Copies of this chain bind each other. A is one copy, B any other.
Amino acid sequence: MKNTPVRRPVCVIGLGLIGGSVLRAAARAGRDVFGASDVAVADPRAEPTVAAALERAASEDALVVLAVPLPAVDEVLRLMAKHAPECLLTDVVSVKEPVAAAVAKRLPGARYAGGHPMAGKSASGWDAGSADLFDGAAWVVTTEEDTSPEAWREAVTLALDCGAQVVPTTAREHDAAVARISHLPHLLAAVLAATGAEGGSLALSLAAGSFADGTRVMGTRPELVLAMCEGNRAHLLDAVDDALGRLGAARGSLASTGGLAATIRAGHEGREALNDLRAAGAEEIPIDLTDPEAFETLRDLGTAGGRLTRLEGDTAIGTLPV
């Protein structure tokens, strides 16, 4: 708001938990917002149909934000090619390679930068959304060699407007990372919930914090978890193989020597690494966006656990954990 007094309107397609929260958060930042959803949403900012919202986006030169589950992306892109082919485009879908491929196919030449806010909760739908869902959260913006700088800046501005911090990385690196820290946790939560319930009412009656926390995300609607996990098949397979190897090694060790020290110590170190990163101080790094190698510098920042916290004209201000 400091640097760009007048901002492009935001058109959110898909008004579930995430899309509905993007719309509210962008409105909180003072931006004009509207959107549409397959499911009827009782809000004056919801247009009656996706086509109507896209037509309005075209007439107002709005930023279009795809906020539908992956299986619905293709159909929305088809409508966008028809009604708003020139609009700047980002998305908040949980995987990035498949969305980039769909955009390349349906809207070749589109000015697009992918996005993914790392926030959520087990409740879903418009009513579960809130303007503060993304405050302080990480929000990936894909930063490839050929990403449109204009779309990139729009996606970054939206993320910052929504209260998030931007993690610049590639679609591929993103998908590999979220397989480990989002999709695998959902799959292990499913395995744990089913294995626990197999113990019957006595076991569930004894369940305390470890089981409740470890299965919390299984309160989410299965269709949403499936769309997310199945859409990241190749990277999730890598992560599952890693987990299967570790769990199998633990099983072998428990059966042979009775010991689990290697497994538990590695787990403790992994959790400590997360705690350390969250407790780390931050060093500010200005990145000149007019530098031809700016995107490479930005990706390196993301790889090192850094984030962008604001834009100042042609300079992005990054912070790096120290």
Residues of A within 8 A of B (CB): 118-121, 137-138, 140, 167, 169, 173-174, 176-178, 180-182, 184-222, 225-226, 229-230, 233, 236-237, 239-244, 246-248, 250-251, 254-255, 258-261, 263-275, 277, 302-307, 321
A13 to chain B, nearest CB (A): 23
| B contact residues around A204 at 8 Å (CB) | 181, 273-274, 277, 305
| B contact residues around A196 at 8 Å (CB) | 180-181, 184-185, 270, 274
The distance in angstroms between the C-alpha atoms of A182 and B120, with both chains bound, is 26
Contact between A194 and B254, CB atoms less than 8 A apart: no
| B contact residues around A140 at 8 Å (CB) | 206
Contact between A251 and B241, CB atoms less than 8 A apart: yes
| B contact residues around A229 at 8 Å (CB) | 254, 260, 264
| B contact residues around A189 at 8 Å (CB) | 210, 214, 267, 271
Which 5 residue pairs are nearest across A and B when measured between Cβ atoms?
A190-B267, A201-B305, A193-B270, A197-B270, A218-B271
Given A120-B208, A251-B240, A305-B205, decide whether A187 and B260 contact each other with a Cβ distance below 8 A: yes
The distance in angstroms between the C-alpha atoms of A259 and B261, with both chains bound, is 34
The distance in angstroms between the C-alpha atoms of A275 and B174, with both chains bound, is 33
| B contact residues around A119 at 8 Å (CB) | 208-209
A224 to chain B, nearest CB (A): 10
A139 to chain B, nearest CB (A): 10
Contact between B277 and A246, CB atoms less than 8 A apart: no
